């Protein structure tokens, strides 16, 4: 991220504890001239993953578009450069709590920064100072401090919700090097005071964006942006419905389509998702499936699986399963609950946005969180999944604890569960493969009384 030098210190209430030049010197020492090598390794990893996807059986032609967009230095990066050259502002976001409709209405371009790049993890870890943080946060930190890292280097501003310690401290560290707004995500959703506080957080985002652009977000643009995103939600839901009817798309491809929405122009993405769904429908009618009807059907849940960290999805599908469903903030939940309002006053729209970004959210940061249990059960039922695999990133306490909590009711219902703890590096592939294969054999044998421990 080229934030240092653009801004001498963070824009939030916390003042920088290090001068900009001392911070710059610290980052240069950490990166130690390895920036280009880190970027090169990241691009090679993406090419390798795309090459694997290209070999998938009966893959829809419409996936070509998403493959192209998945190259972080590809056409999308160029478009964003052009947008900036005309004076446009790019707003980086973390997690699921940042109101994309408001960013869009402000004329800025939202870019969700969650990533699965392994190469920057080491420098990110040194920058943050905790080897036990989840690799997602470390990777994001690494991308942010490496000069010219594709997409990251385009951000003018960051909006950083704080649903967990990793994201809170990542935001705090990045605030030292550039303008960033922290969003205080409540851990409990109940009660009027929480509701009011969250509406204020959403208004803070609006105010911050108005300050950056120097323009007021008017009612008309807000309404237009809400409708734009409602269409994206609808297209995503339609794709989900088609996916549940027949084995016409690999889980890995579905997750890639979801990830591309993090960086893409949302109207074009919506059109491409609709095109893909149409093709999948024709494939289903023609009986052209990607996997046979007897293929073990698996649901993926837990910590986000973010491009290009396709380790677990690859292992599952290469071992003979198909991921028919997920309960990931990087997958199905990407666009699941649109903003709902029948009143188009400014206040009504802001409240509707606030409600959409809080109440339906099933992140494990909330307690109580019966919505998550319901959502996992509903996904299993609708997708006819035969087993659930919890992906837990090393250092992610919220997902570790929730995997354990959710395994109990699943076990009571006779649904096999496997929990995989993993990092971004490939060192544990052999070990995970053995466990995945044993799990799939168990599903195939119908031994639903056997459970892997979490």
Site of interaction with ligand SF4 (CB under 6 A): 95-96, 134, 136-137, 163-164, 166-167, 303-304, 329, 363, 365, 393, 396, 398-399
Instruction: Give the pairing type, strands 387-393 and 297-302.
Output: parallel
Q: Which of 367, 294, 303, 308 is closest to 333 using CA atoms?
A: 303
Alpha-carbon radius of gyration of the chain: 21
Instruction: Kindly report the number of other CB atoms within 10 A of residue 173's CB atom.
Output: 19
Token duo for residue 130 = 């905790």
Distance CA 143, CA 174 (A): 11
> 3-class SS at 130?
coil
Contact 183, 97 (CB under 8 A): yes
Degrees (nearest 5) of the Cα angle 4, 211, 80?
A: 55
**Which residues are within 8 A (CB) of 14 and not within 5 positions of it... i.e. 6 or more apart?**
172, 175
**Beta bridge partners of residue 161, listed in sequence order:** 183
Distance CA 343, CA 160 (A): 29
How large is the greatest C-alpha to C-alpha distance in the chain, in angstroms?
64
**Long-range contacts from 32-35, C-beta under 8 angstroms, 24+ separation:** 34/123, 35/146, 35/147, 35/148, 35/149
**Which residues are within 8 A (CB) of 202 and not within 5 positions of it... i.e. 6 or more apart?**
99, 102, 350, 353, 354, 357
Q: Which of 301, 312, 326, 308 is closest to 249 using CA atoms?
A: 326
**Which residues are within 8 A (CB) of 251 and not within 5 positions of it... i.e. 6 or more apart?**
298, 300, 313, 316, 317, 322, 323, 324, 326
Distance CA 306, CA 121 (A): 14
Q: Which of 201, 181, 219 is closest to 105 using CA atoms?
A: 219
Token duo for residue 263 = 């960086």
Distance CA 325, CA 388 (A): 9
Token duo for residue 65 = 């578009």
> 3-class SS at 287?
coil
Distance CA 7, CA 21 (A): 11
Scanning the structure block, which residue is given the tokens 């096999």?
416
């Amino acid at each position: 991220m080229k934030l240092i030098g653009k801004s001498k210190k963070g824009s939030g209430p916390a003042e920088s504890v290090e001068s900009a030049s001392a911070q710059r010197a610290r980052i240069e020492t950490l990166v130690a001239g390895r920036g280009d090598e880190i970027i090169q390794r990241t691009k090679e990893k993406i090419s390798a993953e795309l090459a694997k996807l290209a070999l998938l059986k009966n893959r829809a032609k419409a996936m070509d578009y998403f493959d192209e967009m998945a190259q972080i230095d590809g056409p999308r990066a160029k478009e964003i450069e052009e947008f900036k050259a005309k004076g446009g502002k790019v707003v980086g976001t973390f997690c699921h709590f940042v109101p994309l409709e408001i960013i869009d209405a402000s004329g800025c371009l939202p870019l969700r920064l969650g990533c699965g790049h392994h190469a920057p993890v080491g420098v990110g870890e040194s920058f943050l100072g905790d080897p036990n943080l989840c690799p997602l946060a470390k990777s994001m930190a690494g991308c942010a401090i490496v000069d010219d890292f594709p997409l990251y280097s385009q951000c003018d501003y960051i909006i950083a919700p704080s649903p967990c310690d990793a994201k809170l401290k990542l935001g705090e560290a990045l605030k030292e090097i550039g303008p960033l707004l922290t969003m205080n995500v409540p851990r409990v959703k109940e009660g009027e005071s929480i509701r009011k506080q969250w509406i204020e957080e959403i208004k803070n985002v609006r105010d911050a964006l108005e300050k950056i652009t120097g323009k007021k977000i008017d009612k008309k643009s807000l309404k237009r942006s809400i409708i734009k995103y409602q269409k994206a939600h609808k297209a995503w839901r339609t794709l989900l419905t088609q996916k549940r009817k027949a084995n016409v798309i690999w889980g890995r491809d579905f997750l890639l389509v979801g990830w591309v929405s993090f960086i893409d122009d949302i109207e074009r993405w919506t059109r491409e998702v609709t095109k893909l769904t149409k093709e999948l429908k024709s494939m289903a009618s023609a009986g052209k499936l990607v996997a046979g009807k007897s293929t073990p059907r698996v649901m993926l849940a837990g910590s986000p699986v973010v491009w290009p960290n396709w380790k677990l999805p690859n292992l599952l599908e290469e071992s003979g399963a198909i991921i028919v469903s997920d309960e990931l903030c990087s997958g199905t939940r990407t666009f699941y609950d649109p903003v709902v309002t029948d009143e188009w006053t400014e206040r009504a729209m802001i409240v509707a946005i606030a409600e959409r970004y809080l109440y339906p959210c099933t992140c494990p940061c909330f307690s109580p969180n019966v919505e998550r249990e319901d959502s996992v059960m509903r996904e299993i039922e609708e997708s006819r999944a035969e087993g659930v695999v919890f992906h837990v990133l090393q250092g992610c306490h919220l997902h570790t604890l929730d995997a354990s909590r959710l395994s109990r009711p699943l076990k009571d219902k006779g649904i096999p569960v496997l929990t995989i703890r993993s990092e971004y590096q490939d060192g544990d592939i052999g070990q995970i493969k053995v466990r995945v294969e044993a799990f799939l054999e168990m599903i195939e044998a119908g031994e639903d009384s056997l459970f892997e421990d979490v």
